[in-house]
Structure 1
Amino acid sequence: MEDNPLFNAGKGAALTMSGGVECDASVMTGDGAAGAVTACTRIKNPIRLARVVKEHTPHVLLINPDVDLATSHGIDVVDPEYFVTPARQEQLRRILAEEEAPLRHGTVGAVALDSHGHLAAATSTGGISKQFNGRVGDSPIIGAGTFARDGACALSCTGDGEAFLEGCVAHDIYARMAFGRLNLAEAIHATFDEEITRRGSTGGVIGIDAEGQVVLAHNSEMMFAACKNGVRIEVWT
């Protein structure tokens, strides 16, 4: 999905105020291990590098990671211009001219439960249009935009990143399940009511629990998602 310019992640991502692209991504597995990268300007697939951080470094989060780390693990490095598309340039022009409101949404994510009962979540984004250089949203922050814990749930969020950061949304959903004994749907809706809707913000989340129940929730006009369980594929809007 990071290779498809239709999504705000990787190629075709939203442009910063200065016209560049800074991509963020994170991945977490249900055993508590996580990796994340932010402000990537040359990494073709940031989500792959986030996994490298998790599995091959002693760290969790790297800012503007060195391209040598990527190439040493077979991840493609590209020129910054690779990410910029004419459609995003025109969008930024209209935003700067105040002809269009800034794009505040746009993230790709995935959650999974394997045959051994292990959960995982991953999230990737280009941020928001006209953002300051160096701005970091919720997507690469474990507990804000991404979270997974075996026996409970895996979550990937999208929306107004600052609200998800302030509300620690992904972890709050998990905590309501673990300590409040809510099911996944109840926990998501309670967290969204308190941390997102109350702030006047919008967004969505995809989640799966330890029994394989999938929940798609959002307070925005729409959110696209698909689910595959080995038997069938379902698509929601």
Structure 2
Amino acid sequence: MKNAFLTIVAASLAMLAPATAFADDHTEVEKPKWSLAIHGGAGTILPENITPEQRVAYEAALQKALDAGSEVLKNGGSAMEAVQAAIIPMEDNPLFNAGRGAVFTWEGENELDASIMDGRDRSAGAVTGVKTVKNPILLADKVRTESPHVFLMGEGAEQFAGEQGFEVTPPEWFATKRRRESLERMKARALSALDVDLKFGTVGAVALDQEGNLAAGTSTGGMTGKRWGRIGDAPVIGAGTYADNRSCAVSATGWGEFFIRVGVAQEICTRLRLGPTLSELFERPEGERGFISNPTSLVDPQVVASTAQSTADAVMAEVKELGGDGGIILVTPEGHTIYSFNTAGMYRGRANSDGLNEVAIFGGEGEAAASNTPDH
């Protein structure tokens, strides 16, 4: 009931506003809206650390994923379909730490994690520690739709995959020379995963479809040299992935232990869903971000976008305070796409039905430059 009054006011104001579309021959009906955002990892991503050729390759890979998801949404496909369509090209691309190109465990294996969530009914599926599934995001969705469970691990997840008709993919599909060298360097110099991996290459996507439904998905190979069956945030519903039509859809990338402790993805969505009351909004200092001086602005799209941005930034600030880093992508029910990261860069992109189409790598690029607060 906390936010009921605010909701009533917004609805009343919306009713008083002029109609924007009519079902007659004289007024153009507003087109259905869709939005998509993707990420391919965050971390110490600086221009001096990437060659021009590498930059071109990453931007092309991001654009390919963005195009795949956008095509689904343009043609009236669901947010769930778009999320999978966007993630699969990144799982198949060795530039990213997901599927092919995943990092190696301490034992020299590639173990894959993924999760997906539907904002319509908050149904979700997740897998961890799988070694023979080419596209773990597809298996995560099968867990959601074809099993009574949410989260499957290891051999059990692979048994389920076989029963669902997934082909067994051999280890050599996932292994790459670059990732093996990272593990060898880590062992030889007694380094941490953060010393050999300057970025977290987890991939993810969030989408709003033309029906107004939200979805989120995330896929990763984890951290170089992970031991003892370590599991990060990517397959954990509420930490690395969350979607709720009432608030937002989020996919995260970063130092998983901290994202789990904060419950980043659900924390952002919950804060947006509950929100402040009108009295709390009026009590904010005039200069504070998100201050609302006029109730009519409750229906202002820019206020909605600003609130989503400030909420995401606040949660990412908590991650930073605890010692973690990384970033998130977010989409709201109104179609706003938001980035928030506390690292030097994040591989990212977004597109929508209004013609927005951008990919970016470094902090300060694109329309979301203000959301970046680098630590290093």
* 2:239 and 2:264 in contact (8 A); partners too: yes
**TM-score, reference length from structure 2:** 0.60
Aligned partner of 2:224 in structure 1 is 129
> 1:85-128 deviations in whole A, cap 9, x for unaligned?
11111111111112861426220000000111100000000000
Q: Which of these residues, 167, 189, 206, is aligned with residue 262 of structure 2?
A: 167
Distance 1:142 1:71 in 2: 24
Q: What are the superposed Cα offsets for residues 31-60 of structure 1, whole Å, 9 maximum, x if unpaired?
A: 210000000111111000000000111000
Does the CA contact (< 8 Å) of 1:48 and 1:75 recur in 2?
no
Q: Alignment partner for residue 125 of structure 2, among 20, 32, 35?
A: 35
Q: Indicate which of 335, 343, 356 corresponds to 1:220.
A: 343
Residues 1:209 and 2:332 aligned together:
yes
Task: Note the 1:156-195 alignment, pairs <5 A.
Answer: 156-181=251-276, 183-194=307-318
The CA deviation at 1:68 is 4.4
Report the structure, 1 or 2, having the larger helix content.
2
Aligned pairs for 1:48-197 (under 5 A) are: 48-64=138-154, 65-98=156-189, 101-103=195-197, 105-181=200-276, 183-194=307-318, 196-197=319-320
Cα distance, 1:232 vs. partner? 4.1
Helix, strand or coil for the counterpart of 1:235? strand
Q: How high is the sequence identity, in percent, across the aligned residues?
A: 44
Unaligned runs of 5+ in 1: none
Alignment: residue pair count: 236
Instruction: Give yes or no for contact 2:127–2:157 (8 Å, CA) kept in 1.
Output: no
CA RMSD of aligned residues (A): 1.6
* Secondary structure at the counterpart of residue 187 of structure 1: helix
Contact 1:227 1:234 in 2 (8 A): yes
Tell me the distance in 2 between the aligned counterparts of 1:43 and 1:163.
Answer: 27
Q: Give 3-state SS (helix, strand or coil) of 2:344's partner.
A: coil
Q: Which amino acid aligns with 2:352?
A: N
More relative contact order, 1 or 2 (CA 8 Å, 6+ apart): 2
Bigger radius of gyration among the two: 2
Distance in 2, matches of 1:76 and 1:55, equals: 19
Q: Decide whether the 8 Å contact of 1:154 with 1:207 is kept in 2.
A: yes
CA distance in 2, matches of 1:66, 1:157: 23
Give the SS at the match of 2:349.
strand
| Cα shift at 1:171 | 1.0
1:19 has 2:114 as partner: no
Partner SS for 1:166? helix
In 1: Cα distance, 2:320 partner to 2:196 partner: 19
Could you list the per-position Cα deviations for residues 114-159 of structure 1 after superposition, in whole angstroms to 9, with x for gaps in the alignment? 1111000000000000110411000000000000000210000000
Relative to structure 1, the CA distance from residue 222 to residue 71 in structure 2 (aligned partners, 3 Å threshold; closer, same or farther) is same
CA distance in 2, matches of 1:66, 1:175: 30
Give 1 or 2: higher strand fraction.
1
Question: SS at 1:97's partner residue?
Answer: helix
Runs of 4 or more off by more than 4 Å in structure 1?
none
